[in-house]
Amino acid sequence: MSDSAAVAAAGERRWIAQALGRLRQEAARSADTHLLKLGFAGFPGIDFYFKDEAAHPTGSLKHRLARSLYLYALCNGRLRAGQPVVDASSGSTAISEAWFARLLGLEFTAVMPACTAPRKIADVEALGGRCELVQDPARVHERAAAHAAAGACHLDQFGLAERATDWRGNNNIAESILGQLAGEPHPEPAWIVCGVGTGGTSATIGRYLRYRGLGTRLCAAEPTGSAYVHGWRSRDRGAVCSRPTVIEGIGRPRVEPGFLFEIVDEVVEVDDAASIAAMAVLEQHLGRRYGGSSGTNLAACLELATRMRERDERGSIVSLLCDPGERYDGTLSDPDWLRRNGLDPAPAAAALRATIASGRWHPPESV
Ligand SMILES: *Cc1c(COP(=O)(O)O)cnc(C)c1O
C-alpha cells in the first residue's frame, strides 16, 4: 500500500470509530421503552403487556432497526465518511434512518411509494432527508438499488433486518421485555405477539426465546390474506398476498427475506376493520393513541387469550405498540378517509368490546 493510501485508510478507520462512538452515545442517552400492563374484565388470570415502542426518539420500533442497520453497515466497512445513504421505506424506517443520518452527518434518501402518508414524508424531510416518490410500489427496491450502484450505501432494511440485530442480547427488544417481566406474576409469557414487516422483530424475538430455552410461543399478527399468512402455512417463500391492506408496516405483498418461518409458532389473521377498531380500544385503555399495526397486535392478543381461557390457562401475553396514532390522522383515524376506502370499524369495535367483556371470541360479523 502506498503511503497516501495508508493515510487515507487510517482516516477512514478513525471516521468509523467516531461514527460508532456517536451511535453509542445516542444509545446511552436513550431510555428503555416502557412495558405497559393491562387487564381485561373477561380474562381473569391473564395479564397483557404492551411494549411502548412509540416512545423511541423517532416514534417507532424502527428506531432499533435503524440503529442496527447503521452499526452493521459501519462494522462491515460498507459505510464511509461522506457517503450518501439510501433505503426503500414506506415511512417509519425512513424517519428513523433520516434521524441517524443527521446524527452521523450523512445525506439520506428514502425511496417510497407515492401513496405514503403525507405526514411521514414531512417527518423525513424535517430531519433533513430527501424523499423520492415512486408511483409503482413494486419498484422501490429497484430505485434503491440504482442509488447503490451510483455509490450510495444501501441500508437495505428488507435484506438485512433479520441479521443486523444482535439476537443474543445487547438489550435487543426480546431481552428488554423479558428483563422487564422478571418480577411479574408470569415472567415467562405464554405468547409474544408481533406483526411482520421486514421480519426483523420476529426474528430477534424468536431466536432469543430459543436461545434462553423458554417455552414462550411467538405469534405473528398479520392483516388477513397477507403474503406471510399464505407463506407460513404453505412454507412457500414465493407466496404473495391475496388481499391488500391499509395497515402500514406489516402485511407485505410478498414474503421478505427476513421472515423466518421456523421460529414463528402461530399466525393470526386480523381484518383491517378490526385493527382500526382496536386502535380505539388501545386509546381507551392506555389513554394514548397508537397506530394500525398496534391495533392488529391487540386483536391477535385477544384471540389468543380466548383460546387460553377456553383451556382454563393462566399466564401472560406480551405484544408491541409499534408507532403513534398521530401518524394516521389523515388516514386510519379520519372517518371520511375510512368511508372513501369502504372501511367501517363499528361492527368490529362492538365485537372486540364483547370479547373483552366476556372472554369469549366474538368474530366481527357476529355482533
Ligand atoms: C416495521 C413495522 C412493523 C413490523 O416490524 P418488523 O420488524 O419490520 O417486522 C410493525 N409496525 C410498524 C408501524 C412498523 O413500522
| CA gap 223, 268 in Å, rounded | 8
Q: What percent of the chain shows pLDDT beyond 70?
A: 99
pLDDT value, residue 2? 84
CATH of the domain at 135: 3.40.50.1100
Question: 43 with 83, same domain?
Answer: no
The answer, yes or no, to whether residue 25 has pLDDT greater than 90, is yes
Question: 220 with 237, same domain?
Answer: yes
pLDDT tens digits along 246-285: 999 999 999 999 999 999 999 999 999 999 999 999 999 9
pLDDT value, residue 113? 87
Q: Return all residues near 196 (Cβ < 8 A) that are at least 6 apart.
A: 202, 220, 222, 226, 228, 250, 252, 259, 264
- Count of domains in the chain? 2
When pLDDT is cut at 50, 70 and 90, the band that residue 19 belongs to is very high
Q: Which of 127, 162, 197 is the endpoint of a domain?
A: 162
Residue 129, SS3 per DSSP: coil
Q: Is 172 in the pocket of ligand 1 (CB under 6 A)?
A: no
Q: Is 224 in the pocket of ligand 1 (CB under 6 A)?
A: no
Question: 238 with 112, same domain?
Answer: no
Q: Which residue is listed with cell 405468547? A: 191
pLDDT tens digits along 49-84: 999 999 999 999 999 999 999 999 999 999 999 999
Q: What percent of the chain shows pLDDT beyond 90?
A: 92
Pocket test residue of 194, 322, 326, 327 for ligand 1, highest count of atoms within 8 A of CB? 322
The answer to whether position 52 is within a domain reads yes
Residue 187 Cα to ligand 1 midpoint, Å, equals 25
Q: Is 199 in the pocket of ligand 1 (CB under 6 A)?
A: yes
The answer to whether position 275 is within a domain reads yes
Question: 354 with 244, same domain?
Answer: yes
Of the two residues 209 and 3, the one the predictor is more confident about is: 209
Q: 317 and 305 in contact (C-beta within 8 Å)? A: yes
- Indicate the average pLDDT of the chain: 96
Q: Is 59 in the pocket of ligand 1 (CB under 6 A)?
A: no
For the chain, strand residue ranges (E) read: 35-38, 46-52, 85-88, 108-113, 130-134, 153-154, 191-194, 217-223, 266-270, 315-321
| CA gap 46, 317 in Å, rounded | 7
List 131's β-bridge partners, or say none: 110
| CA gap 97, 137 in Å, rounded | 19
Q: 49 and 181 in contact (C-beta within 8 Å)? A: yes
The answer to whether position 23 is within a domain reads no
Residue 187, SS3 per DSSP: coil
Residue-wise burial string across 201-222, b where 16 or more C-beta atoms lie within 10 A, e elsewhere: bbbbbbbbbeeeeeebbbbbbb
Question: 341 with 235, same domain?
Answer: yes
The answer, yes or no, to whether residue 367 has pLDDT greater than 70, is no
Which residue range forms the structural domain that includes residue 199? 32-57+169-366
pLDDT tens digits along 188-226: 999 999 999 999 999 999 999 999 999 999 999 999 999
DSSP 32: P
The answer to whether position 27 is within a domain reads no
When pLDDT is cut at 50, 70 and 90, the band that residue 120 belongs to is confident
Mean pLDDT across 228-238: 97
Instruction: List, as one string, the DSSP characters of 328-364.
Output: GTTTTT-HHHHHHTT---HHHHHHHHHHHHHSS---G
The answer to whether position 113 is within a domain reads yes
The answer, yes or no, to whether residue 166 has pLDDT greater than 90, is yes
Mean pLDDT across 127-156: 94
Mean pLDDT across 278-301: 98
Mean pLDDT across 128-139: 92
